[in-house]
């Protein structure tokens, strides 16, 4: 159904401002747009100091209760049974699949029902957006804490809804990556693809090849500090993400984008000579040595160690911009390494179709053209990440200080105004696995930089991945997006104030 959008005055309230007469958020302020949203006129539920949370999935209930305690100052205990006054998260079923949920708000209680834990988590994210923006504050704020009455029934359009963070060009500490997990999870994104290796740095410990991290991870673009994650840190991130219904997909790019590895181990080079470490931004100059058997031992051991600490179903093998590898060598290499994924399903940038992809291999389309016969005709699942629409590292316009322009400039309307099912000519909609928003970090150095490039475009792409095509309407979306501004301010998100959006005063 078409969602009726109302921009409510509540979103004008900013952190720390007392608002005893604060208005109630509208059902029409939720991003991504739900499948069905039916408000109950005149009905609200108010969270008070006596409210508690019950959950059939303890972790999700705990996260909600912890946030409410921080912002409201109320005790918000975890109840042992569905409370008479409070919030219940129940695995009692909902229309739809594993990620579907139903949210019911009456004057007496809030109930979120789902088939699986993921559905409960996504219902909670919708509930968060129906609370005042100050409910996401890290410190106690004044109430009241009202939620509009009614029912939302919701499920995703695509099973794969991703964001990618390049930690190879610039390294980001674990806390920054976990913060990004929190941000993407609010908009029901369920995959974080980590670009862990490139010419400028190697970011994960591999026990059988220790110099990859200690030497290959010592640099970053522009001579900035390098860094790497231990296996324990990576596993901490995997667990942190899983608690928020986000799957980590690690990428080791090959056979190109490999200078950090080549510099770490001379034997990986055809001439046996290690090149110097690299801190520039050019691409296409490096390649693993396709003719050496040690190359495949290296790949097998790296992927084996990574697969062992990655519970998710995918490994990403890169495969793009291998300009210094001949077409024949590229095909030989990619055909040989795909079976080395240790039981995981392979994802590759769409260049992988120039080899012989396994029937299960997923191609990630990053081109700017709407025509690519090799990708469209391969008969396989495709993740849509067209660089001219989905790359979060492109500038918003020529004047914005961060980002690149090789794929064009991408304002919010550009990021929102395309359909993943029809963008690539000749690709049947049934083969579209989902959408991913990559953020490459040649010009990105800090968490504030990540915020600036991801917001407000990331929620636009999240809506393309979650909401039915029938709800996609720019006028409605930009009003709902504007309602997120005060929430981001409370959360400390350094977002870009696009002139295409009428942001509430003070946000």
Query: Could you tell me the CA-to-CA distances from 394 to 150, 334, 495 in Å, in that order?
Result: 39, 29, 15
Q: Are residues 82 and 54 in contact, defined by beta-carbon separation less than 8 angstroms?
A: yes
User: Residue 396 is encoded by which pair of tokens?
Assistant: 């918003």
CA neighbours closer than 13 Å in the CB half-sphere of residue 200: 24
Q: For 145-221, where are the alpha helices, taking DSSP H only?
A: 174-186, 211-214
Query: Could you tell me the CA-to-CA distances from 93 to 35, 89, 90, 119 in Å, in that order?
Result: 16, 11, 8, 9
101-105 and 145-154 as β-strands: parallel, antiparallel, unpaired? antiparallel
Catalytic choice (321, 411, 436, 442):
321
- The structure tokens 């009241």 sit at 144
Report CA dihedral (115, 121, 122, 126) to the nearest 10 degrees.
120
Q: For residue 305, indicate whether it is catalytic.
A: no
Q: Are residues 311 and 295 in contact, defined by beta-carbon separation less than 8 angstroms?
A: no
Report CA dihedral (403, 460, 182, 147) to the nearest 10 degrees.
140
Q: For 136-247, where are the alpha helices, taking DSSP H only?
A: 174-186, 211-214, 231-242
- Residues involved in catalysis: 321
């Amino acid at each position: 159904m078409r969602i009726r959008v109302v921009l409510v005055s509540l979103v004008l309230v900013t952190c720390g401002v007392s608002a005893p007469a604060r208005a109630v958020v509208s059902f029409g302020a939720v991003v991504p747009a739900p499948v069905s949203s039916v408000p109950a006129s005149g009905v609200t539920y108010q969270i008070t100091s006596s409210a508690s949370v019950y959950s059939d999935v303890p972790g999700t209930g705990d996260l909600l209760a912890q946030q409410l305690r921080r912002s409201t100052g109320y005790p918000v205990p975890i109840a042992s049974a569905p409370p008479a006054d409070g919030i219940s998260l129940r695995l009692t079923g909902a229309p739809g699949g594993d990620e579907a949920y139903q949210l019911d708000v009456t004057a007496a209680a809030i109930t979120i029902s789902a088939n699986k834990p993921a559905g409960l988590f996504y219902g909670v994210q919708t509930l968060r957006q129906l609370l005042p923006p100050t409910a996401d504050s890290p410190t106690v704020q004044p109430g009241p804490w009202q939620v509009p009455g009614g029912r939302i029934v919701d499920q995703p359009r695509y099973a794969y809804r991703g964001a990618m963070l390049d930690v190879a060009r610039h390294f980001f500490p674990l806390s920054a990556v976990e913060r990004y997990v929190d941000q993407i999870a609010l908009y029901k994104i369920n995959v974080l693809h980590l670009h862990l290796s490139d010419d400028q740095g190697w970011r994960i410990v591999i026990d059988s090849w220790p110099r990859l991290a200690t030497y290959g991870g010592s640099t970053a673009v522009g001579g900035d500090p390098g860094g790497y994650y231990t296996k324990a840190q990576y596993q901490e991130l995997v667990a942190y993400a899983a608690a928020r219904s986000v799957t980590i997909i690690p990428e080791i790019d090959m056979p190109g984008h490999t200078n950090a590895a080549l510099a770490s181990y001379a034997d990986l080079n055809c001439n046996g000579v290690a090149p110097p470490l690299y801190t520039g931004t050019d691409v296409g100059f490096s390649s693993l040595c396709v003719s050496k058997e040690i190359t495949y031992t290296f790949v097998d051991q790296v992927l084996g160690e990574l697969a062992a600490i990655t519970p998710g179903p995918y490994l990403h093998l890169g495969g793009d911009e291998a300009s210094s590898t001949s077409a024949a060598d590229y095909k030989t290499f990619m055909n040989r390494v795909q079976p080395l994924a240790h039981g995981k399903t392979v994802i590759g940038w769409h260049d992988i179709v120039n080899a012989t992809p396994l029937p299960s291999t997923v191609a990630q389309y990053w081109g700017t053209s709407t025509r690519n016969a090799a990708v469209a005709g391969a008969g396989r699942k495709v993740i849509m990440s067209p660089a001219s629409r989905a790359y979060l590292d492109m500038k918003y316009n020529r004047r914005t200080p961060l980002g690149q322009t090789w794929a064009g400039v991408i304002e919010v309307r550009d990021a929102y105004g395309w359909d993943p099912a029809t963008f690539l000519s000749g690709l049947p909609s049934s083969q579209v696995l989902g959408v991913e928003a990559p953020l490459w970090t040649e010009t990105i150095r800090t968490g504030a930089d990540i915020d600036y490039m991801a917001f407000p475009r990331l929620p636009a792409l999240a809506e393309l991945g979650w909401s039915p095509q029938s709800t996609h309407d720019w006028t409605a979306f930009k009003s709902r997006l504007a309602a997120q501004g005060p929430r981001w301010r409370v959360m400390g998100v350094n977002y870009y104030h696009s002139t295409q959006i009428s942001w509430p005063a003070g946000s």
